[in-house]
Amino acid sequence: MSLPARILVLEDDDAMRELLTEILKDEGHHVLAVSRGQEAVEAAERDPLDLVILDVRMEGLDGLEALARMQEHLQGAASLVVTGYASEADSVRALRLGVSDYLRKPFDLTQFLQRVEGLLSETRRRRLRQTREERLRRLSTWALRALLRTLEGRGLPAGVVENLEQIGSLAGRLAEGAGLESPETEEIQAGSILLATRRLFALPAPALPFPAPPLALAAMCEEPGLASRVADLAVCAGQHSDPDERWPGRFDPILLAGLEAARANCSGLFPRAQALLGLAQTLLHAGDPQHAGQAFRRVMASGNPREKVAASLGLAEVALKDGCRPQLSEAVHSALQEARQVGPAETGRAALKGGILLMRVGDSEARVLLEEAIQVARRLHLTPALSRARLAMVALGLPKPPEWEEDLELLLRPENQPERREDLPWLLPTLLETDTPPGILAPLVRESPGELARWLESGSPSASARRRVGSLLTEVGGCLSLECLESLNADPDPEVRRQAAEALQNRSATPLRPVLRIRSLGPLEVFLGEDVIEERTWRSPRVKYLFAYLAVQPRPVPEERILEEFWPEDALRGRNSLYWTTSALRRTLRGWSTSDQAPVQRVRARLCLNPELPRWHDLAELERAAAIPQGPERPAAARRVLDLARGPFLEGCYMDWALQIRDRVERWVRKALADLHRHHHQQGLEAEALECALRWKELDPLSQEACRGVMQSLLALGRPQEVIRHYEGHCRTLHRELDMEPSLELMELAQRARLGLP
């Protein structure tokens, strides 16, 4: 007997329906029997099927009409029409619908079962063949990329493999824009890479262990057709920023329009270099500085100035972890050089981060950079940055400023949690070595007991600092590890030993619940207290995505809605998958919960993360900042939006709900830039206004408002030639994308620049 199949029987005759159902079940198949056409359509929408058996004539929706409505849900399932009578018109309809087989009543049951098994065998073979072809396509693309990677470091110039991958990615987007879908887009992607290896770099095409798919061959061999036209444009675009200008008349206008759209999407809010930055930071947090450094260096080779600033500072962090002081200093200087090309705000951020990194290795230049950061922060009213810079100056050994306690209280606010976490390795020792109020110290120690333990183990604390730690044990002893308390219990100071002994005696067997920190803007990073949840702990991407989905929900979500979002194609299997995924998620988050408070709660068929457990989410912080209306607090809120938006929401996830949130984040970022540009322009800070407007224009190339902001600021800065260049470039983009002219405002600004008017 063959493997069990899922069979739908549509028959309005009760006796016949029961007979067919019984026979098929005796053969071991799963049978769903219905008597009306509409019921059959609903069943096909709900359940995956291997075979549909139907009668033609019945009341209401007849069998063939029901089959027509089911087609989009059948996914290659076979169909068998069994009927006692059928007109010529019915036969034609059946033929057009691609009915697999026809059986007239009355029929022999043995013959019926033979037809059923024959159709099921054919369906299985077809689906197996499709699966193998799909795997082969994916395997060929994967193998091609893997083989190209083996060429790295074997005499190839730097950036060749990266360039090939970018060409392949562009070809895939062009193919999608031309109406193709996977797997055709993947084949063209692979073929474009093969074509580029030969045409651009004179490399032999990598030998694959199996034949290349048809469209990949067509693209590589430049055979006439859409595949070769897409590949040709992608490769030429890899050589020249405007291939239509370089090779006029060579390319299909529709594909050229697709190129502009793809580039707008690529060079928008979070381009490839930005994604690499997120990956590099994730690797750094996960304790892998070697691969983080490789990712940062790739950004340095392909990113824009702002991305290069972040990458240089990332390389400085890698050098700090590796103990390479010369490389750290070099990376900080590189970051400042790039930042000065971007604008004052970016320069201030780079000076602050670079100054802190140099301060941590005792470099005398740290003070110069921190003083520059303080000047920029004062001019632009960057309050958190100003506080951090002043605290870092104290860490250098300078006297405490009058604003000392105000700075500390500001840093303790919930919205400044990311900056506080970043600064704790140097800030906590600084505070413990100075006369800092216990009300400031205790929350910091509770939040990061591991930092305190590492500092104590280093042997660096002075006797007064150890006594200060001892005085805190009544409040924070419960969150310190047993090893840390035992170390303090062996301290030379008898008072510290006494306080540690009391803390050990009163220490609860149940540790305090750590805060769950979620960073979903960029690659998903989740921390339980100080520890990152490692990738393998999630068990599968679907577990991570379900966690992220629940984390953004304001209230418990019905399980049916989760099934629609995550497993729409198979409700029965989806429910089993949901149970497994939820169970895996609970195991992943078990360190966040207690015996009586599960991390994921299920109430009346609804799921949610436990609202009673402490957590911090960057998306929630960004949303709060974005919601602050126009007024005195709006500029600081807009800067907060830009600081938090380190990458696209849940990078790598393309589910509908994630894409909707991603779009919202992008709108908030564009509005923040527009508001900051307007604020700086009104304050007469044109260099800062230009910095915001350029980034705004980069994110939204078709925005006339953004272009006007760039032109206004350039004109105010006395740079008329750049005004004209931006205006002409915007005119070309508008004409190519929207077939429209620029606004009268832009024309007026351009004319003023030509006449040399301010």
Judge if pTM exceeds 0.75: no
Q: Helix 686-699 to helix 704-716 angle, to the nearest 10 degrees?
A: 150
DSSP state of 631: S
How does pLDDT run across 563-604, given as a tens digit for each residue? Answer: 988 988 777 788 888 999 999 899 999 877 665 678 899 888
Under 8 Å between Cβ of 32 and 8? yes
- Residue 603 carries which DSSP code? -
pLDDT in tens, 527-558: 888 788 887 788 878 899 999 999 999 899 99
Asked if residues 519 and 533 have their Cβ atoms less than 8 Å apart, the reply is: no
Over the stretch 360-416, which tens digit does the pLDDT of each residue have?
999 999 999 999 999 999 988 888 899 999 999 999 999 999 998 888 888 888 778
| Side chain identity, residue 378 | R
Torsion of CA 690, 303, 181, 137, to 10 degrees: 180
What is the Cα–Cα distance from 563 to 330, expressed in whole angstroms?
52
Find the distance separating the first CA and the last CA of the chain, reported in whole Å: 87
pLDDT in tens, 438-452: 888 888 888 888 888
238 within 8 A of 167, measured Cβ to Cβ? yes
- Identify the DSSP state of 520: -
d(CA 229, CA 386): 54
Q: Degrees (nearest 5) of the Cα angle 4, 9, 14? A: 130
Is-contact 479 444, C-beta < 8 A?
Answer: no
Q: What is the pLDDT of residues 304-346, one digit of tens each?
A: 788 899 999 999 999 999 999 999 999 999 999 999 988 999 9
In this predicted model, what pLDDT tens digit does every residue of 107-165 receive, in sequence order? 788 888 888 888 888 888 777 776 666 655 555 555 555 555 555 545 555 556 667 77
Tell me, rounded to whole angstroms, the distance of Cα 503 from its chain centroid.
43
